[in-house]
A and B are shown apart, each in its own frame.
Chain A
Amino acid sequence: MRLSIDHRTTYRFSAPQARLVQMLRLTPPDTHDQTVAHWKINVDRDAHMRHGRDGWGNRVTMLYVNGPVTSIEIAVEGEVVTSHSDGVLHGAGEPLAPAVFLRATEATLPDPAITAWAQGIGGDAQPLAALHAINTALHERSRVDLKRPETPLAAGAAFGEPSVTPRDLAHIFAVAARSLSIPARYVSGYSAAAFLGRHAPAPHSWAEAHVDGLGWVGFDPCTGRCPEEDYVRVAVALDAAGAAPVAGSRLGVGEEDLDVDVTVSRQG
């Protein structure tokens, strides 16, 4: 499948900023089932860009802007060719051992309610079956709010909320899997399944869990299914903060206003 992505991020500042330094995780990697045919990051002002990788192995673009700057638009346009993989990841360079993804972070602290829930659903099952059961059950118990998450909630807090974002669901899934001693991680990327043809206010997020003998397998609690060829993986980490599409720092006073617009379309 050929997927076309248009992802615009705009920051507006209430006062001119002297400098901006941003770390962008906006470039998908090539894997066995995902080939980047064309990809471009455009910025609407003079900027220095440097490409590298972070510790998780994600492709990173450092963006350095000298001000005064009152707004900046980062426009990502690209095309990715994907193929069917049953949600199993093949051919991604993995710099870290799976056990690293048993760790907790502030957003994915072990939570007694999630642990009890996960035990009840998957405690007696084989890992792969347990993960599928958790994914399905999480999908069924959740009302998904596709708006961009405003205040970041830890998984435990989000688990008790009436409606949750894809980011919350990925966190909850990771905490649940880790409570069964299964390595799990957060994935940021794009999905035509969740947002096809609509302007989405955020990139998509889902989870991956590591199953011995199979490797990393994707799970999307938003759909209750495994990510298929209409997904584009961009970055992974223990939680959303680690895989953030844009992590930024600015030198200057005042407030910032963020606007994100993502469109994913299928090209035949």
Chain B
Amino acid sequence: METRPAFDEIMGLSGDKPPRPELAALGRWLENTSGDELRRRQESAEAAFRQLGITFAVYGETEAAERIIPFDIVPRVFLHEEWTRLSEGLVQRVEAINAFLDDIYGEQRILSEGVLPADLVLTNPQFRPEIAGMRPPHGVWAHICGIDLVRTGPDDFFVLEDNARTPSGVSYMLENREAMLRLCPELFRSYRVEAVDSYPDRLLETMKSVAPRGTGTPVCVVLTPGHYNSAYYEHSFLADSMGVELVEAADLEVDDDIVWMRTVAGRVRVDVIYRRVDDDYLDPLVFRPDSMLGVPGLIAAYAAGNVAIINAPGNGIADDKAIYSYMPEIVRFYSGGEVKLPNVETWRCREPEALRYTLDHLGELVVKLVDGSGGYGMLVGPTASRDEVERFRAALIAEPHRYIAQPTLALSTVPTLTDTGVSPRHVDFRPFVLTGANGVQVVPGGLTRVALKEGSLVVNSSQGGGTKDSFVLVPDGPVQNMGPSGMTQTMGGMRQEQN
């Protein structure tokens, strides 16, 4: 289907041996480990995930079967310098997202200066007038961002989507690493890999940093919709690893504009809520009145400055697909500098010329619903059937404002274990970026999603995608000495940093 060869992140542009010099050891590992052995390890990892209950529900399937997301045993590796450059772009982008939210629910300078079409924000369902004029503690809105990236070359990263609401997937980052440490310890002897297991501590520090009260030890909780939610495992996992309470709405109450947690020992004041409940369900007095998942009065407590909500309500406007295409302008507006991490080129079909271009090139483009997610409502031109293309053509003509179009990129590949041995598969990447009162940090790792079908570019787990561990190498690069002296040890799944 593709005209250009994809960049393989291990093997390089040649797509064939030898691998990129920095990753020679990984190439040797792939060559020297039999397919059966790789498969045995992969199955062992998946068995562990199943036991833990790391499952997801597929939307639109009648039998709400919970599946595990397939795990691939071959890691993806970022060199230290690659990661450094990428991180700078991520920090710039997330700083801009926070500044944008602060502005759009406040002064709206970006609208009055004409950088964005005002109607795109003001009439956008993701802009929530219900919380206009309210400001989160310390001015931080998007405490946890998952920025979805694709790559086409060694230093060519593009943002596909910003996730500034409640990005999920961080439990995969952590569990995948645990599995790799347990099942492939030899790789951690070849490469010094940045640890990701500090994520829960970093998240807790981020939460504490935005607590509204300056004194004492802030009380933080994770608010879940409940055990039937597809990401419940992640909710309980995060609460557990941070050592904070996992609560449902019924465990919280608001009195006198203060949020309290009911405990057997009485009420405890809550300062910070990491909510995994959507805005619509957060407070039945302000949003959907039929919500059973929310806490009546929560928005009043928030408006009074008595609680931090992570991420802040109203963030959907920052990761809306219609806004996405303006992100380069948004980043420039708030950072005052050039954009370090570009968008994928995007045609806004609401604009007549873009629509014409899209209709003329449907066979080459990816067309997406502005308000869709999870790979639904999406046309991948090069692999679509004639019928699908014609269906999208009709839909585009009928409601052009609902669509954007992007080129089909030659997404990078990573060697992946398949039924017929190890072969390249397309990947994307979701790094997690934390913003607290003291600034922005990028967690050195993330969630690599892989399209398991040959040639497929759709990595969504709901569409048959899998995940991989993502290594970020520490500055020294590969460990030359494979002997015991330079070894990174693994013990009980925990990595001991070498000295």
Contacts and interface: CB of A to CB of B under 8 A. Distances in A.
Contacts of A267: none
B13 interface: no
B254 A64 contact: yes
Nearest to B127: A100
A103 B254 CA distance: 30
B410 interface: no
B70 interface: no
Interface string A40-57: 000000001010111111
A66 interface: yes
Interface in A251-266: 251
A138 interface: no
B482 interface: no
B284 A249 contact: yes
B113 to A, nearest CB: 14
A241 interface: yes
B285 interface: yes
Interface string B283-300: 011100100000011001
Interface string B108-134: 100100000011001101011111111
B258 to A, nearest CB: 9
A218 interface: no
A242 interface: yes
Contacts of A52: 257, 300, 303-304
Nearest to B298: A21
Contact of B119 (A57, A99, A247, A251): A99
Interface majority SS on B: helix, strand, loop or mixed? loop
B415 to A, nearest CB: 49
A54 B255 contact: no
Contact of B254 (A21, A53, A97, A238): A21
B401 to A, nearest CB: 14
Contact of B133 (A50, A62, A95): A95
Interface in B271-317: 284-286, 289, 296-297, 300, 303-304
A60 interface: yes
A25 to B, nearest CB: 11
A103 B119 CA distance: 10
Interface in A79-135: 95-97, 99-100, 102-103
A169 interface: no
B133 A53 contact: yes
A19 interface: yes
A175 to B, nearest CB: 15
B178 interface: no
Contacts of A192: none
Which 8 residue pairs of A and B lie closest in terms of their CB atoms, listed nearest first? A249-B296, A99-B122, A55-B132, A21-B296, A55-B130, A48-B256, A50-B257, A23-B285
9 contacts: A50-B300, A52-B303, A53-B133, A55-B131, A62-B297, A64-B254, A99-B119, A242-B130, A247-B286
